[in-house]
């Protein structure tokens, strides 16, 4: 286990991109313009995912994008994606955060999930990914939510 602790969990609706402006409560904007820009890169990345649950993640260091990755199916001896093209049931995948982090580390990571219409959905890292993110020394996680975005400060 990591000696670090998640010091703050903050989930509030924010404006991500103009097409969702009507749905957002702009009184609760918490992302800087740079953070919004970076999260939008993660959103566009997620749209490229081959998985039925489309995730994207980018590793950022000193404000620069260092690595970009989508989630990706992985083979399983008992089950492969081709067994179930409808995306139902358990399908094993590499998570986007893990793939992005495997290439390079940074100080923050942006994670997005989109639905089939490209609308952001909750993409808070799972427990396994969050533990890896903490252990790797990241200081901040920014992720999409249905209403906007959330942040975790480590
Ligand atoms: Zn995960």
Q: In the chain, how many domains are there?
A: 1
- Domain assignment present for 63: yes
Rounded to the nearest angstrom, the distance between the alpha carbon of 111 and the centre of ligand 1 is: 10
Rounded to the nearest angstrom, the distance between the alpha carbon of 27 and the centre of ligand 1 is: 30
Q: Tell me if 149 sits within 8 A of 142, measured CB to CB.
A: yes
* 34-79 confidence digits (pLDDT tens): 998 999 999 999 999 998 899 999 999 999 999 999 999 876 555 5
Rounded to the nearest angstrom, the distance between the alpha carbon of 55 and the centre of ligand 1 is: 10
Domain that includes residue 84, residue range = 6-153
Query: Highest-confidence range of 23-27, 39-43, 130-134, by mean pLDDT?
Result: 39-43
Rounded to the nearest angstrom, the distance between the alpha carbon of 132 and the centre of ligand 1 is: 9
Residue 48's pLDDT is what? 95
3-state secondary structure the chain: CCCCCCCEEEEECCCCCHHHHHHCCHHHCCCCHHHHHHHHHHHHHHCCCCCCCEEEEEEEECCEEEEEEECEECCECCECHHHCCCCCCCCCEECHHHHHHHHCCCCEEEEEEECCCCCEECCCCCHHHHHHHHHCCCCEEEEECCCCEEEEEC
| CATH number of the domain bearing residue 23 | 3.40.140.10
Using DSSP bridges, classify how beta strands 93-94 and 108-114 pair: parallel, antiparallel or unpaired.
Answer: unpaired
* 6-22 confidence digits (pLDDT tens): 333 344 444 444 344 43
- Domain assignment present for 85: yes
Please give the backbone phi and psi of residue 23, each rounded to the nearest 5 degrees, phi first: -90, -5
Q: Tell me if 54 sits within 8 A of 114, measured CB to CB.
A: yes
- Domain assignment present for 44: yes
Separation of alpha carbons 107 and 125, rounded Å = 16
- Domain assignment present for 1: no
């Amino acid at each position: 286990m990591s000696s670090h602790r998640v010091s703050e969990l903050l989930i509030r609706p924010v404006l991500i991109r103009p097409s969702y402006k009507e749905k957002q409560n702009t009184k609760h904007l918490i992302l800087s313009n740079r953070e919004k820009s970076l999260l939008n890169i993660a959103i566009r990345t997620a749209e490229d995912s081959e998985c039925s649950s489309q995730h994207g993640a980018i590793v950022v260091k000193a404000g620069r994008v260092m690595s970009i990755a989508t989630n990706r199916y992985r083979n399983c001896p008992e089950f492969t994606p081709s067994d179930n093209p409808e995306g139902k049931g358990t399908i094993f995948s590499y998570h986007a955060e893990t793939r992005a982090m495997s290439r390079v580390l940074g100080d923050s990571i942006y994670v997005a999930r989109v639905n089939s219409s490209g609308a952001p959905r909750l993409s808070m890292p799972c427990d396994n990914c969050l533990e890896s993110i903490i252990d790797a020394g990241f200081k901040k996680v920014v992720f999409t939510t249905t209403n906007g975005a959330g942040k975790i400060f480590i």
